[in-house]
Amino acid sequence: MAQQSPNVIDLYQGAVDEMLPTLSAVRADQLTAATPCTDWNVQNLITHNIKIADFVQGIILGNNTTNPFEVGDPLPAQGGREAFAAGTAKVLELLKSGDIDRVMETPFGTMPLSSFIMFPTLDIVIHQWDLSKGIGANAAIDAGLAEACYGALQMGAEGGRAQGAFAAEVIVPISATIQDKLLALSGRTP
């Protein structure tokens, strides 16, 4: 019997659920701390993740105006965790109420929404690890999320590198954990 692929909405929800406690753990004195995402500190990563939710909503609705790479803004008044939770809740609402197989134009080409949503899912998972490392929190990635994101990244890593989204792949042993393989493929040293 063939193994069924994970539901992309559940994967996105899982990534969000993993990120929320990390965002809750960030202290004000950690906002300028360095992260493995070498261009961005803790506050930049939080801002990026908030903007990714807005960006995804805009792509789904066909009216995107958000640049998720403009990360110099201060955190919203309601706080990073709350803004991220609100934005991702709107994304989940759109995913659950729409046609997940609808083919649409994205910055990564024409593809079904079910394929597109793996990009922000992967982004949340990788940046949750970056953020955890930056604040000294537990940086374990859920194995199911790591496996699904690793599969998605294998298909898009070269394109991502060409756009400057990832550094060169880090070499890890074949026996490395799925988390370490995912991080290495994204250009991070596990």
How confident is the model at residue 56, as a pLDDT?
96
How confident is the model at residue 2, as a pLDDT?
41
Per-residue pLDDT tens for 15-24? 999 999 999 9
How confident is the model at residue 133, as a pLDDT?
97
Residue 50: Cβ-neighbour burial (10 angstroms; 0-12, 13-18, 19+):
buried
What's the one-letter identity of residue 4? Q
Using the structure block, give the residue that is written with the tokens 């026996």.
Answer: 175
pLDDT mean over 94-118: 91
Confidence of residue 168 (pLDDT cuts 50, 70, 90): confident
The answer, yes or no, to whether residue 157 has pLDDT greater than 90, is: no
Overall pTM surpassing 0.85 (yes/no): yes
Q: Which of 10, 182, 2 is nearest to 100 (CA)?
A: 10
Per-residue pLDDT tens for 24-77? 999 999 999 999 988 899 999 999 999 999 999 999 999 999 999 999 999 999
Residue 170: Cβ-neighbour burial (10 angstroms; 0-12, 13-18, 19+):
middle
pLDDT mean over 134-146: 96
